[in-house]
Amino acid sequence: MTDTATKIAAGLERAFISHGFAEPNVETLRDAAGVSLRTLYKYTPSRDEMVLSALEHRHLRYLDHVFAPVPGAGDLSLAEIIDRIAEWMATEAPHGCLFHAAVAAAPQNGRLLALLKQHKSEVAAQAATLIGCESQAVDLAFLFEGLTQTWPLLGAEATATAKRFAERL
Residue 158 amino acid letter: A
3-state secondary structure of 20: coil
CATH number of 3-167: 1.10.357.10
Give the predicted TM-score (pTM) of the model. Answer: 0.92
Domain boundaries along the sequence of the chain: 3-167
Residue 137: alpha-carbon gap to chain centroid: 18
pLDDT for 74 equals 59
pLDDT for 72 equals 55
pLDDT for 2 equals 85
pLDDT for 76 equals 78
Q: Which residues of the chain have pLDDT under 50?
A: none
pLDDT in tens, 36-52: 999 999 999 999 999 99
